[in-house]
Amino acid sequence: MPESPPWWKVFDAEKDEIDEVCRVLANLYRQPKASYVEVAKDSKSFVLMSRAWEPPPSSVKVSHILKKRKEL
C-alpha cells in the first residue's frame, strides 16, 4: 500500500506498529499446519444425563443458614 498519505493513521497507529503486526502474521503463516486430533473414539465416551444438576451439600447448608438469619 502507498505510504503517502499514511493510511495507518486512519487506525490511529504508527508505521512501526503496522510493521510489527505484519511480522507477527508472517510468522504465524510460517508455522506448520495444525492437524485435527479426535478426542472421542466411541459413543460411550460421553454420558448424557436427563436429570437436573444438584448443588453440593455445602451450598444447601449455606442457604439454610441464610434463611434462618432472615427469620431472626
Instruction: Encode pLDDT of 14-66 as tens digits.
Output: 999 999 999 999 999 999 988 888 876 666 655 566 666 676 666 555 666 66
Domain ranges of the chain: 1-33
What pTM was computed for the model?
A: 0.44
d(CA 55, CA 61): 11
The whole-number pLDDT of residue 67 equals: 66
Question: What pLDDT, on a 0 to 100 scale, did the predictor assign at position 72?
Answer: 60
